[in-house]
Structure 1
């Protein structure tokens, strides 16, 4: 598995993140957040990102936590979690 530094988004500060592709940010943040844990309190994660994870069926809100679902676990244990997360997010269409 790649080190966490390799899966963090290479965006240039807050403005870069603001203008970045939301699916790309969601895929990278999923791997960076959950690569070493199954559950995390994420009070500062953008709700749009968590919504994308839910639409991709890789994670879900559970009270004040976000939990990884089975498809998300398969991503995290794959030989290339970043690429697997990218593929999962690519299957999520634009917001309705």
Structure 2
């Protein structure tokens, strides 16, 4: 009897947490930000996706040195952030 009560309580709590998380995400997605500005402005997300694709290719083709991969992804992060910031200013 107590096991079924515990299971029902856990399900109810899980449902409440899921609803609260959905509401939180909906609020966050409604807020303006650099990614939203990039998607809604004339600025296209193509270069961002392109740099990520090239980074994935470079990661696969990179030698065993982790330093090279770290530098590649660091450069990609800087380029993408600069792209998003310029998109936000427009």
- TM-score normalised over the length of structure 2: 0.27
Q: Which has the higher contact order (CA 8 A, sep 6+)?
A: 2
- TM-score normalised over the length of structure 1: 0.26
Bigger share in strand: 1
**Between Structure 1 and Structure 2, whose CA radius of gyration is higher?**
2
